Chains A and B, each alone.
Chain A
Amino acid sequence: MRPNLAIQAFLGLYIFIFFLYLFGPLVIMSVTAFNSAEFPAITPWECFSFRWFNEGKIAYDGQRLAGLVTDRPLHEGIVTSLIIAAGVVTLSVPIGMAAAIVLTQVNSRLRTLFYSMSIMPVLFPGVIIGISTVVLWDRIATLGGDGFISELGRNGIFLTILGQTCFISTYCFLIFVARLQRFDTTQEEAALDLGASQSQVFMKILVPYLMPAIGSSAVIAFLASFENYNTTVFSILSEQTLTTVIASKVRLGISPAISALALVIICLTLIGAFFYEISRRSNQRKKDRENKVKMFSEISGNRLVEEQPKFFKIPKSIFVFLLLLILAVLTWQQLIKNNMYGAECVEKAEASKKSNFADQLKLLQQNAESVEATDEGGAETGGSKEYNDIFGDPNLFKNFGGFDTDKKEEGESGATRSNEYNDIFSDPNLFKNFGGFDNKE
């Protein structure tokens, strides 16, 4: 069925837009990881830098923005996630396998019930699985007294493994069911007739047959566990996994370090997909060759002339890579030409920002002295277009509203105020970044 040209063109356009929608946000996010500005954006482009992959930076307003390498909570979160994923894989793959094998053995009425129950967890919202695990185990821990059980029931990693196993087992179960549908049971019968024990049949026939399913369900279980958030956020209690670390980072304020992390994950995914495709193709080729050999040996006549395989065929994908390479080189040249790369550029940007910030503060103080209202005045006069999204936030100036408290002590209000902004002023690095602003006065 070939549709006519107009429909084809329309379909092509539609598919192009669809994939643009799918990949566009990811590409843009990846690009922002290389922008040295504090806010992940493509415009205004500050400098090309790898700082978000390395050390991050201390922003001009004293906020510490960690890069990937220096981010301790992130590293700990990844380790916790790996532990949980390992636990989930070791639990859910055997469970899924056992359930799928038993499904083939029970009679049809029980079968429907059993199957419905097994797939139920997929239909539950993840949030609910997390909550139910926590409330149950909290109760068990309370009843269990002070011993091991109470510790176990309040251990976030243990609870998360249980919660995730609940629904990830279903994924494994479905993979095993699909594989078992094509299983030839006469193999088992033959083995039993030849005197094998049941355990031998299981280990020597069923498990090898299920090996591909074991592999793919382990991969699926690992990935599903690693990226789960909805269940984990409830069951993890006081610990932190990769996803909860990301979530708290995103909520606290968005930093390009998250883009850098995303880019790393995207690259890993792409590499995985690449190798998967390569292995699949080589398998396919091997199978084709075997088939051909078989065909030739079966048809011993010489009516079929073997096609001479070309030794080197240029894959079409190479053009895509070439195009990407050319684009990258062009962008790079543009960056060099406009002096938007390297330590110099970063330093310059920092300096201009610092002076800009000092100006802002000065303005703010003048306003504070002339007008009684300390907070809103600055926000109106300040905020050049470039820093709109940072300075446009009226809350920002609140933090610095207390700056002049040491000069005009206002008794009670001053005390509460300094109390309120404690965590900002207790940071010893804070005053460094203002370039000795106080000393001038």
Chain B
Amino acid sequence: MNESFLLTILILSPLLGIVLLSVMPGNHRFINYMGVLGTVLPLVLTLIVFSLFDRTVSGVQFVEYRQWFELMTSISPNEPYTVAYDLGVTGLSVLFLMLASLITFLASLTALRLKESAKGFYILFLLLELGLLGVFVSENLFLFFLFFEITLVSMFLLVGKWGGFNREKAAFSFMIYNGIGSILLLIVIIVLFVEMKTTNITELTMLLKETDSLEFLSGDTRTWLFVLLLIAFGIKLPIVPFHTWMVRVHVEAPIAVVMIHAGVLLKIGAYGLLRFGVGFFPQQLKDMAVVLAILGVINLLYGAFIALVQTELRSVLAYSSISHMGIVLLGVASFNTAGLQGAVFQTISHGLIAALLFLLVGVIVDRFHTTKLEELGGVASQAPLFAGFLLAAGLASLGLPGMSGFISEFLAFLGLFESMPVIGSVGILGLILTAVYMLRAVLAVTFGERRPLFDGIRDLTAVEIVPSAILLSIIIWIGVYPAVLSNTLQLARTIGIGG
């Protein structure tokens, strides 16, 4: 792939929307539509990247490299530390990129309902998208960190200003936890930079693999770096017990933001673990595989059990996310092709399913003004289409075959059973619990006696059907034909393990 500017254009594309929005008057009739339009350009560009991505060759594609700045240090005066501006996508990141653009676009549609200060909302929203796109196309750690911080700031403001009743508490909680995660990540980045003299991700992966002789970093240092990385991305994923902030955000943030949060932002945790954890420290990961697997099982069962007794739909889904992310950990812990593939599939799949579920929660909030399970019920009588979508989303979430969730969980557990059948057997009970809490929640909303209170409620409108249908079709498409993911992923090449 020759020199191209495609990725730069891609990450800057949300700026067009931001600029246009900022010159429009805040009370303009089309301000929301402008915001939605702003997410279309990045989506189109991502689709171009996705379709041009060559699935037959290995390595990073669409590479852009420019020297950015140099640091002279007294440690090695002759070899300056170079920080570069380099972008590129691999089979792994191109999938995440696609996920980010798509869900941002669909989420922007749900914010069309927003009446007050839509201008500021959409500007921050697009800034968030810029950060997300940047995270997934950064080929070096400095850039990654930079974009990662952009997402934090814009999220903080979005939650804090447009959230629910306890929005400020949620925003601060978000900021503190993620701030701690950032510091840990920064420490890892600096140590790697100082020791390896590069922050390029591919280069680091190669160097760290070749130097198993521990020329650069001692085994102990690597273990510590891996643990720091695990905590940093563990907060994001989240791993129990670092999850409380995430439940708050799920419950308080505006729906469009929760869709992105559950659908993409949390997935940065998985992306980081896969790209940096597995890529940089494979040996350390192998050594700690049992710990990771146990953490995964805890996540899976802990989330599932708590979801079982939640009385409010958003909390059910928040704990469900925790539970599902446990499966990602299990896949990573198994450290074979099946498991890692399962982890990636599960990340993407859960991103789509969570986005769909929260989109529908948005409809509930809009129509019924409550998400308490006991105040809902019998909705299938008045809004059959909505009930159908919610049921389909619930079934997808509990891993129904023919939908993306099944194949992901299947692969993750398949991988786990090769090395750790006992832990796997405990974890697999989570699949039963998932069915229990998911059906409990979904049926509590849709099934049951007709409530006259909800008569005359509007079923899904076109602007809600389209995104729901798109998400559901992709979920089914992946479930029926998983090769659509595995062909792009080319796992063995991307993460660089033989299996």
Does A pair with B?
no
Interface residues of A (CB under 8 A from B): none
